[in-house]
Amino acid sequence: MQCEKEYDNFFHYTIRLMLADVMDDDVMVELSTLKSANSRFMFTRSLLLKHEMLASTLDDDFEYDHPSVSKSLRQSGNALFRAELYEEAADMYTKSLRGSKPTTELYALAMANRSAAHLHMGEYEHCLRGARVAMTANYPSKLAYKLYERAGHAERILGMVERAKESYAVCLTRLDEADMSAEDKREFGAAVQVAATECEQVLIERKRTTKTPIAEHLVGGRNENIPALSAFVQLKMSEDMGRGVYASRDINPGDIVAIDEPYICGPARDDTEVCQYNGCLKLDFALLRCPKCLLAYYCNEDCMNKDYKEGHNLACPITCFIRFKIPGISRMNELAMKWFLKDYLKMGLKKYCSIVDNFSESKIDPITRGFDEIGQYKSDHFETAYSLDTRENKMPMEVLFFFNCIAVDMLHNLILSGFNIPERYIGSVGASLVRILTVLDLNCRKLNTNAPTVSCRSDTYTIALTLYPTICLFNHSCDANIKRSGKVTDRIRVMKAIQPIPKGTQLCCTYVIIIKGHDKESRQRSCNDRFNLKCYSQPCINNLPTFHFIPEHHSTLAYILNPSMADIVSSECKKFVEFTKSVEAKDHCHHLNYLYSFIKLLYTNVKRPFALYEDCLEMIGNAHSISTNVIHVFEGSWTMNIA
Residue 370 CB, nearest approach to ligand SAM (Å): 8
My answer on whether omega of the bond before 140 falls inside 30° of 0, hence cis, is: no
Residue 487 CB, nearest approach to ligand SAM (Å): 23
Residue 478 CB, nearest approach to ligand SAM (Å): 8
Residue 424 CB, nearest approach to ligand SAM (Å): 33
| Closest C-alpha to 49, from 333, 320, 405 | 405
Output 61 or 239, the one with its CB closest to ligand SAM. Answer: 239
Residue 111 CB, nearest approach to ligand SAM (Å): 44
CA atoms within 13 A on the CB side of 7: 22
Sign of CA dihedral 355, 356, 358, 363: positive
DSSP codes joined into one string, 433-448: HHHHHHHHIIIIIIS-
- Direct distance between the N- and C-terminal alpha carbons of the chain, in angstroms, rounded to an integer: 40
Output 106 or 473, the one with its CB closest to ligand SAM. Answer: 473
**157, 241, 345, 626: which one binds ligand SAM (CB under 6 A):** 241
Residue 64 CB, nearest approach to ligand SAM (Å): 45
Output 94 or 532, the one with its CB closest to ligand SAM. Answer: 532
**40, 163, 243, 624: which one binds ligand SAM (CB under 6 A):** 243
Sign of CA dihedral 589, 591, 596, 601: negative
If one asks whether residue 44 binds ligand SAM (CB under 6 A), the answer comes out as: no
If one asks whether residue 160 binds ligand SAM (CB under 6 A), the answer comes out as: no
Output 286 or 473, the one with its CB closest to ligand SAM. Answer: 473
SS3 for 78? helix
Output 129 or 476, the one with its CB closest to ligand SAM. Answer: 476
| Closest C-alpha to 477, from 508, 505, 448 | 508
Output 80 or 527, the one with its CB closest to ligand SAM. Answer: 527
x/- track of binding to ligand SAM for residues 384-413 (CB under 6 A): -----x-x----------------------
Question: 470-489: which residues touch ligand SAM (CB under 6 A)?
Answer: 472-473, 475-477
Distance CA 241, CA 389 (A): 12
Distance CA 510, CA 23 (A): 41
DSSP codes joined into one string, 449-502: TTS-EEEETTEEEE-EEEE-TTGGGSEE-TT-SEEEEEETT-SSEEEEE-S-B-
If one asks whether residue 383 binds ligand SAM (CB under 6 A), the answer comes out as: no
Output 390 or 605, the one with its CB closest to ligand SAM. Answer: 390
DSSP 8-state secondary structure symbol assigned to residue 587: G
**184, 187, 240, 270: which one binds ligand SAM (CB under 6 A):** 240
If one asks whether residue 421 binds ligand SAM (CB under 6 A), the answer comes out as: no
Quick one: which H or E segment has residue 304? helix 301-307
SS3 for 629? strand
Residue 507 CB, nearest approach to ligand SAM (Å): 11
Residue 535 CB, nearest approach to ligand SAM (Å): 4
Q: Are 507 and 247 in contact (CB under 8 A)?
A: yes
Distance CA 508, CA 260 (A): 15
Residue 246 CB, nearest approach to ligand SAM (Å): 12
x/- track of binding to ligand SAM for residues 348-377 (CB under 6 A): ------------------x-----------
| Closest C-alpha to 400, from 208, 598, 408 | 408
Across 539-627, the runs of DSSP E, i.e. the strands, are 625-626
Residue 587 CB, nearest approach to ligand SAM (Å): 34
Question: 533-562: which residues touch ligand SAM (CB under 6 A)?
Answer: 533, 535-537
Output 437 or 447, the one with its CB closest to ligand SAM. Answer: 447
Distance CA 120, CA 115 (A): 9
Residue 6 CB, nearest approach to ligand SAM (Å): 16
Strands 453-456 and 459-462: antiparallel
| Closest C-alpha to 268, from 439, 414, 460, 398 | 460
Number of residues lying near ligand SAM (CB under 6 A):
20
Residue 511 CB, nearest approach to ligand SAM (Å): 7
Output 272 or 537, the one with its CB closest to ligand SAM. Answer: 537
If one asks whether residue 381 binds ligand SAM (CB under 6 A), the answer comes out as: no
Output 122 or 366, the one with its CB closest to ligand SAM. Answer: 366
Distance CA 407, CA 538 (A): 39
If one asks whether residue 626 binds ligand SAM (CB under 6 A), the answer comes out as: no
Given the rule CB under 6 A, which residues bind ligand SAM? 240-244, 366, 389, 391, 443, 447, 472-473, 475-477, 531, 533, 535-537
